[in-house]
A and B are shown apart, each in its own frame.
Chain A
Amino acid sequence: MPEQRRIIFQHIDEPGYAPDLDCYRRHGGYATLAQAVRRKPEELIDEVKKSGLRGRGGAGFPCGVKFGLVDRKSGKPIYLVVNADESEPGTFKDRYIIHQDPHQLLEGIMITCFANNVKAAYIYIRGEFPLGAKILERAIAEARAANLAGPNVLGTGYSCEIYVHRGAGAYICGEETGLIESMEGKRPYPRIKPPYFPAVLGLYQCPTIVNNVETLCHVKHIAAIGGEAYSKIGTPNNTGTRIFCVSGHVRRPGYYEFEVGKITLGQLLNEVCGGPRPGRKFKAVIPGGSSAKVLRVGERYKGKRKVGTEMVDYDWGIEDIPMDFDSLAMIGSMGGSGGVIVMDDSVSMVEALGNINAFYAHESCGQCTPCREGSLWMKKITARMVHGAARAEDGALLKSVADQIAGRTICAFGEACAWPTQSFVLKFGDEFKAYAEDRKASPPDAPALV
Chain B
Amino acid sequence: MIAPPKPDLIPVNIDGREIAVPKGTNMIEAARLAGVDVPHYCYHSKLTVVGNCRMCLVEMGLPAVDPATKAPIMDVVSGKQKINWMPKPTIACATNAVPGLHIRTTTPQVKDCREGVMEFLLINHPLDCPICDQAGECKLQEQATGYGRGYSRFIEDKNVKPKRTQLGPRVTLDDERCILCSRCIRFCKEVAKDDVLGFTDRGSYSTLTCYPGRKLENNYSLNTVDICPVGALTSTDFRFKMRVWFLKQTPSIDTESSVGANTTVWSREGVIYRITPRQNDAVNDTWMADSGRLLYRAVRADNRLTAVRAAGTDGTLEPAVAAAAALLRLGSAAVVGSGRSTVEEQYLARRLAAAVGAGAHLVARVGAGDKLLISADRNPNVRGALLTGLIAALPEPQLTGLAAEIDAGKVKTVVSLGEDLVAAGITAAQLAKVKVIYLGTHANATSAAAEIVVPTLTVFEKQGTFVNQQFRIQKFAAAVPGPAGAADDLSVLAKLIAAVDGPAVQGEIHGVWTALAAAIPQLGPIAYRNLPSGGLLLDGAAWAHLAFPEGETLHHQPAARPA
Q: Contact: A192 with B180, CB < 8 Å? A: no
Q: How many A-B residue pairs have CB under 8 A?
A: 96
Q: Contact: B113 with A408, CB < 8 Å? A: yes
Question: Which residue of chain B is the closest to A188 with respect to CB atoms?
Answer: B202
Given A187-B199, A366-B180, verify A373-B52 contact (CB < 8 Å): no
User: Which A residues are CB-close (under 8 A) to B91?
Assistant: 192
Which of the segments B120-128, B253-261, B298-306 contacts the partner chain? Answer: B120-128
Q: Contact: B50 with A366, CB < 8 Å? A: no
**With an 8 A cutoff between CB atoms, is B29 at the interface?**
no
Question: Which residue of chain A is the closest to B55 with respect to CB atoms?
Answer: A369
Which of the segments A102-110, A262-270, A376-384 contacts the partner chain? Answer: A376-384
In chain B, positions 193-220 with a C-beta closer than 8 Å to chain A are 198-199, 201-206
**With an 8 A cutoff between CB atoms, is B175 at the interface?**
no
User: Which B residues are CB-close (under 8 A) to A363?
Assistant: 202-203
Which of the segments B31-39, B152-160, B308-316 contacts the partner chain? Answer: B152-160
User: Which A residues are CB-close (under 8 A) to B123?
Assistant: 373, 377
Q: Contact: A366 with B204, CB < 8 Å? A: yes
User: Which B residues are CB-close (under 8 A) to A192?
Assistant: 49-51, 91, 94
Q: Contact: A370 with B54, CB < 8 Å? A: yes
Whole-angstrom distance between the Cβ of A177 and the nearest chain B Cβ: 12
User: Which B residues are CB-close (under 8 A) to A400?
Assistant: 153
Contact of B204 among A372, A407, A409, A410 (CB under 8 A): A372
**With an 8 A cutoff between CB atoms, is B489 at the interface?**
no
Distance A408 CA – B88 CA, assembled complex (angstroms): 8
Distance A409 CA – B90 CA, assembled complex (angstroms): 10
Q: Contact: A370 with B120, CB < 8 Å? A: yes
Q: Contact: A376 with B204, CB < 8 Å? A: yes
**With an 8 A cutoff between CB atoms, is B57 at the interface?**
yes
Q: Contact: B204 with A375, CB < 8 Å? A: yes
**With an 8 A cutoff between CB atoms, is A365 at the interface?**
yes
**With an 8 A cutoff between CB atoms, is B420 at the interface?**
no
Q: Contact: A373 with B54, CB < 8 Å? A: no
**With an 8 A cutoff between CB atoms, is B119 at the interface?**
yes
Question: Which residue of chain A is the closest to B119 with respect to CB atoms?
Answer: A404
Q: Contact: A375 with B202, CB < 8 Å? A: no
SS of B interface (majority): loop
Q: Contact: B53 with A407, CB < 8 Å? A: no
User: Which B residues are CB-close (under 8 A) to A194?
Assistant: 94-95
Distance A369 CA – B91 CA, assembled complex (angstroms): 13
**With an 8 A cutoff between CB atoms, is A374 at the interface?**
yes
Distance A334 CA – B95 CA, assembled complex (angstroms): 30
Q: Contact: B203 with A362, CB < 8 Å? A: yes
Q: Contact: A381 with B156, CB < 8 Å? A: yes
Distance A384 CA – B50 CA, assembled complex (angstroms): 34
Contact of A373 among B89, B112, B204 (CB under 8 A): B204
Q: Please tell me the size bucket of the interface on B.
A: 35 or more
**With an 8 A cutoff between CB atoms, is B116 at the interface?**
yes
Distance A400 CA – B116 CA, assembled complex (angstroms): 9
Contact of A369 among B49, B89, B157, B179 (CB under 8 A): B179
Whole-angstrom distance between the Cβ of B88 and the nearest chain A Cβ: 5
Q: Contact: B52 with A380, CB < 8 Å? A: no
Distance A119 CA – B486 CA, assembled complex (angstroms): 75
Q: Contact: A377 with B120, CB < 8 Å? A: yes
Whole-angstrom distance between the Cβ of B158 and the nearest chain A Cβ: 10
**With an 8 A cutoff between CB atoms, is B295 at the interface?**
no
Question: Which residue of chain A is the closest to B198 with respect to CB atoms?
Answer: A187
User: Which B residues are CB-close (under 8 A) to A381?
Assistant: 156
Question: Which residue of chain B is the closest to A192 with respect to CB atoms?
Answer: B51
**With an 8 A cutoff between CB atoms, is B117 at the interface?**
yes
Distance A404 CA – B123 CA, assembled complex (angstroms): 14
Q: Name, among A373, A375, A384, the residue most crowded by chain B CB atoms within 10 Å (CB to CB).
A: A373
**With an 8 A cutoff between CB atoms, is A392 at the interface?**
no
Distance A192 CA – B95 CA, assembled complex (angstroms): 10
**With an 8 A cutoff between CB atoms, is A361 at the interface?**
yes
Given A170-B202, A192-B91, A363-B203, verify A373-B49 contact (CB < 8 Å): no
Q: Contact: B117 with A370, CB < 8 Å? A: yes
Distance A405 CA – B117 CA, assembled complex (angstroms): 9
Q: Contact: B203 with A369, CB < 8 Å? A: no
Distance A404 CA – B156 CA, assembled complex (angstroms): 18
Contact of B202 among A365, A380, A405, A409 (CB under 8 A): A365
Distance A367 CA – B91 CA, assembled complex (angstroms): 14
User: Which B residues are CB-close (under 8 A) to A404?
Assistant: 112-113, 116-117, 119-120
Distance A368 CA – B41 CA, assembled complex (angstroms): 11
User: Which B residues are CB-close (under 8 A) to A182?
Assistant: none
Distance A192 CA – B96 CA, assembled complex (angstroms): 13
**With an 8 A cutoff between CB atoms, is A51 at the interface?**
no
User: Which B residues are CB-close (under 8 A) to A367?
Assistant: 50, 52, 180
Distance A107 CA – B116 CA, assembled complex (angstroms): 48
Can you name 16 A-B residue pairings with CB atoms under 8 Å?
Answer: A170-B202, A187-B198, A189-B52, A192-B51, A369-B52, A369-B117, A370-B54, A372-B203, A372-B206, A373-B123, A376-B204, A377-B154, A380-B157, A397-B153, A405-B116, A407-B88
Apart from A363-B203, A404-B119, A407-B89, list 10 A-B contacts with CB within 8 A.
A189-B52, A364-B203, A365-B203, A366-B203, A367-B52, A376-B159, A377-B154, A380-B157, A404-B116, A410-B52
Closest 6 CB pairs of A and B: A404-B116, A373-B120, A366-B206, A380-B156, A376-B204, A364-B203
